[in-house]
Structure 1
Amino acid sequence: RFLWIGYAFQTVAMGAQSAMMPYAVTYQIQASSGVLAQLFLAGAIVQVAAMPLWVKFADRWGATRAAIAAAAAYALATLGYVWCGPGDVALATAVAALAGLGQAGCYVLPFALMPSVVAARDQKEAEANLGLLTAVWVSGEKLGLALGGAAAGVLLGLAGYVSGGQAQPASALASIPLLFATGPALMLACSAPLLLKLDRLRRRQGQPL
């Protein structure tokens, strides 16, 4: 439960940030759609390169601690978007790359933890419920991504965003950095206590992860 809910918070953050990125590029950074692709590419390149590093980190310090560190790194990096203003393409690209570093761990480490958590239970019970647990895990991931995007859209609408309009009210423009950076960072922070609880629980049972 702790792992599943913690990862759900992380996927909500990812879904919200992905949904908000086009709005941030258009209205906050005031750049072309080509910059949107640039930000996605910068994050993706770092994610792929950083995944083996998180695996090594987990081998040395434990997957649970590595997962907490990844969420913290992702949250701190994504807060950097708050300082991106009109024309700050280079800064936004650097932030996207740094966010990709933490995001790589958020992709890899919960998946590494899930079979370890299952295997730590009674073997017969684990084998009987493995398919169910996997299905619930995948469903939670997809639900988190969908909820993040949907919540961002609803909140943007409540802030007064005019769909298809070039001129936006000040309330909508002010909400974009919050929904793009601060909101996801808060969701990532919410995952940390759950992962810490999991870490303490496993250590108390003599099975550190």
Structure 2
Amino acid sequence: MESFSGDVKSIKMDLKACSVSVVAEDGCGLKSTGYTGDKKLMPEISFENGELTVTQNSVGGIFHGAMAINKPCLTVTVGKETVLNDLDIKINAGDVSVSGITADWFSGVINAGNLSVSDGNFLKAEFRIKAGNVNFRNTNFNKAETDVKAGSVKFDIEEDFEQYDIECKVKTGSVKAGQDISGREYSSKGKNTNSIPNSIKINVATGNIEIGQM
């Protein structure tokens, strides 16, 4: 796979069967792209006018074997000084790990797979997970909305827990906010004095929610 680098403002992915790792290292801009796994599942990458676009053709019958044995994974590395306009990741099957990234907008849609986000800063984020667990650690959001059909959500808030408006609901499972376990729902108004307060909204159909400083 050709590796791409240069000034980057937008990253968009639409993948059928591939895990993704988006990480930051010293510097700025897009540092590199790399892929490991079955060549038949190798995504197509284009990089023009500051936009990195990643797509994957239909994987057909090789999906299950390749995911289980070769574990296809795409790695995108950007500089720590980079502020993305948007990070948009859509995956049918595969895990997503995002570490050290700063972006105005972060969207993640996963049909089957886990989402892990750490050491990041995002103005607004929206996540839709059909089956998989979600883990946020040391990451700041001005506004974040997460919907999970089947799976659990852990949200480790780096800032003061009381700086957020929080709304959590589960249909089957429980909510733990700080040291309090509050059944299937939890809500609180934050002490943030911004005209538009920071907010976190989490809905889980089947699974648990744990939110606070862990």
Shared fold per TM-score greater than 0.5: no
Higher relative contact order (Cα pairs below 8 Å, separated by 6+ residues): 1
- With normalisation by structure 1, the TM-score equals 0.21
More strand by share: 2
- With normalisation by structure 2, the TM-score equals 0.21
More helix by share: 1
